[in-house]
Amino acid sequence: MTDQLKKLLLGEQGLVVIFIVAFALVSLLVPNFLTDRNMLGLLQSVVTVGIVACTMMFCLAARDFDLSVGSIVAFAGMVAVMASNYTASIPLGLIAAIACGAVVGWVNGVVIAKFRINALITTLATMQIVRGFALISSDGRAVGINSPDFYQLALSKLLGIPTPVWVLAVLFAIFGFVLNSTVFGKNTLAIGGNPEASRLAGVNVDRTRIWIFTLQGVVCGIAGILLASRITSGQPNAAVGLELSVISACVLGGVSLAGGRATMSGVIVGVLIMGIAENAMNLLNIPAFYQYIVRGVILLLAVLLDNLRSSALGRR
Partner 1 sequence: MSFLEFSNITKTYPGVKALSDVSFRVEKGAVHGLMGENGAGKSTLIKILSGDQHADAGEISIDGKVQAYASTRNAFDNGVIVIHQELQLVPELTVAENLSLGRFPASGGVIARRRMLDDVGAKLKSAGIDIDMRRKVKTLSIGERQMVEIAKAVMLDARVIALDEPTSSLSSRESEILFALIDRLRGEGKVIIYVSHRLDEVFRLCDSLTVLRDGKLAAHHTSLKDVTRDQVVAEMVGREISDIWGFRPRKTGEVRLKVDGLSGARLRTPASFEARAGEIVGFFGLIGAGRSELMRLVFGADPRSGGTIAVDGKTIAAASPHEAIRAGIVLCSEDRKHDGIIQGRSIEENINISSRRHHTRFGVLNRASEIATAETFIKKLKVRTPSRRQDIVNLSGGNQQKVILGRWLSEQGIRVLIVDEPTRGIDVGAKSEIYELLYQLAEGGMAIVVVSSELPEVMGICDRILVMCGGRISAELTRGQFAEKAILAAALPDKKTPDAIAS
CA distance 279 to 301: 19
Which of these ranges, 119-127, 157-165, 185-193, 240-248, lies near partner 1 under the rule CB under 8 A?
185-193
* Distant-in-sequence, close-in-space partners of 225: CB < 8 Å, separation ≥ 6: 76, 77, 80, 94, 97, 98, 153
Q: Are 76 and 101 in contact (CB under 8 A)?
A: yes
What string marks each residue from 259 to 298 as x (binds partner 1 by CB under 8 A) or -? -xx-------------------------------------
What string marks each residue from 64 to 93 as x (binds partner 1 by CB under 8 A) or -? ------------------------------
Which of these ranges, 75-83, 175-183, 264-272, 276-284, lies near partner 1 under the rule CB under 8 A?
175-183
- Residue 260 vs 270, nearer CB to partner 1: 260
What string marks each residue from 130 to 159 as x (binds partner 1 by CB under 8 A) or -? ------------------------------
Q: Which is it for strands 157-158 and 143-144: parallel, antiparallel or unpaired?
A: unpaired
Report the SS3 class of residue 263. Answer: coil
* Distant-in-sequence, close-in-space partners of 143: CB < 8 Å, separation ≥ 6: 78, 81, 82, 85, 233, 234
Among 71, 85, 108, 256, binds partner 1 (CB under 8 A): 256
Among 47, 83, 102, 189, binds partner 1 (CB under 8 A): 189
As a three-state string, the secondary structure of 188-244 is HHHHHHCHHHHHHCCCCHHHHHHHHHHHHHHHHHHHHHHHHHHCCEECCCCCCCHHH
Among 17, 40, 137, 193, binds partner 1 (CB under 8 A): 193
How far from 43 is each of 162, 164, 260, CA to CA, in Å?
A: 9, 9, 29
Report the SS3 class of residue 40. Answer: helix
- Residue 237 vs 307, nearer CB to partner 1: 307
Task: Report if residue 253 touches partner 1, rule: CB under 8 A.
Answer: no
Task: Report if residue 194 touches partner 1, rule: CB under 8 A.
Answer: yes
- Residue 205 vs 280, nearer CB to partner 1: 205
Among 95, 117, 169, 186, binds partner 1 (CB under 8 A): 186
Which of these ranges, 50-58, 68-76, 88-96, 187-195, lies near partner 1 under the rule CB under 8 A?
187-195
How far from 182 is each of 54, 175, 176, 310, CA to CA, in Å?
A: 15, 10, 10, 26
Which of these ranges, 79-87, 122-130, 154-162, 189-197, lies near partner 1 under the rule CB under 8 A?
189-197
Residues near partner 1 (CB under 8 A) are: 181-184, 186-187, 189-190, 192-194, 196-204, 256, 260-261, 313-315
